[in-house]
Amino acid sequence: MSTKPKLYYFDGRGKMESIRWLLAAAGVEFEEEFLETRDQYEKLLQGGSLLFQQVPMVEIDGMRMVQTRAILNYIAAKYNLYGKDLKERALIDMYVGGTDDLMGFIIMFPFLSAEDKEKQRALIIQKATSRYFPVYEKVLKDHGQDFLVGNNFSWADVHLLEAILMVEEKKSDVLSGFPQLQAFKARISSIPAIKKFLEPGSQRKPVPDDKYVETVRRVLRMYYDVKAN
């Protein structure tokens, strides 16, 4: 077994994308196994690899980790992206909690009906510009530092950049009222590990399309309608 972490998920963003971002930001190479058929999924289930019968699953350091947040916490701590003490960690957790809630509105987006998609797009923009982005704009303005927490690159910065780019995919000028975030975006994007991840050919996944939705539905037998928030 190689020592690289191995990610088990669909060939698409979903809940695994934040994990790909964090590993990439930490400069950690990883392998991926993509779920394409129901059989593959059932094999994983029968083999006992999925603690709660769900993916994401990441094989790392001899563990078969599940639960996105648990995996992210582990990677952040292992690669020193989780602050220097309990209080910095608390700030990072609060900030990541916010960007996670924001990205939660986007993750269900591809599964919505065309009509619900329009409403959801508006909701995403509204939440981003009135609830979430103002918080990070203020944090950066107040301390004037390059990074969100403790004057040091952390998981919170990676997660915020990921969220910004995802919202921009829905409205390209969404940062127009947020000068600090514009500068932040440029700064973090130019960090070598992140720059590399943003280039074509990296393991970053594209915006989910119908094929992705079809694959998820097929593998998980998730044929019910997903309702918007």
Partner 1 sequence: MSGKPRLTYLNGRGRMESIRWLLAAAGVEFEEVYLETKEQYEKLIKDGFLLYQQVPLVEIDGMKMVQTRAIMSYIAGKYNLYGKDLKERALIDMYVEGISDLMQMILMFPFSPPDAKEKNLESIKERATNRYFPVFEKVLKQHGQDFLVGNKFSWADVQLMEAILAVEEKVPDVLSGFPQLQVFKTKMSNMPTIKKFLQPGSPRKPPPDAHYVETVLKVFKK
What is the contact surface with partner 1 in residues (CB under 8 A)? 51-53, 61, 63, 65-70, 73-74, 77-78, 86-87, 89-90, 93-94, 96-98, 101, 131-132, 135
Burial class of 138 by CB neighbour count within 10 A (0 to 12, 13 to 18, 19+): exposed
Specify the residue for token string 């990441």. Answer: 58
Query: Which of 9, 197 has the CB closer to partner 1?
Result: 9
What 3-state DSSP class applies to 203? coil
Bridge partners (DSSP) of residue 144 are none
Length of the chain: 229
Query: Which of 42, 101 has the CB closer to partner 1?
Result: 101
Question: Which are the contacts of 6, defined by CB distance < 8 A and separation ≥ 6?
Answer: 30, 31, 32, 33, 58, 59, 60
Query: Which of 122, 207 has the CB closer to partner 1?
Result: 122
Write down the least CB distance from residue 185 to partner 1, Å. Answer: 20
Residue 219 φ/ψ, nearest 5 degrees = -65, -40
Query: Which of 91, 191 has the CB closer to partner 1?
Result: 91
Write down the least CB distance from residue 32 to partner 1, Å. Answer: 20
Write down the least CB distance from residue 74 to partner 1, Å. Answer: 5
Bridge partners (DSSP) of residue 31 are 6
Query: Which of 41, 74 has the CB closer to partner 1?
Result: 74
Residue 64 φ/ψ, nearest 5 degrees = -105, 95
Query: Which of 101, 214 has the CB closer to partner 1?
Result: 101
Question: How far apart, in whole angstroms, are the C-alpha atoms of residue 206 and residue 54?
Answer: 22
Cβ–Cβ < 8 Å for 120, 229? yes
DSSP state of 111: G
Write down the least CB distance from residue 122 to partner 1, Å. Answer: 15
225: left (phi over 0), alpha (psi -120 to 50) or beta: beta
Write down the least CB distance from residue 89 to partner 1, Å. Answer: 7
Write down the least CB distance from residue 198 to partner 1, Å. Answer: 27
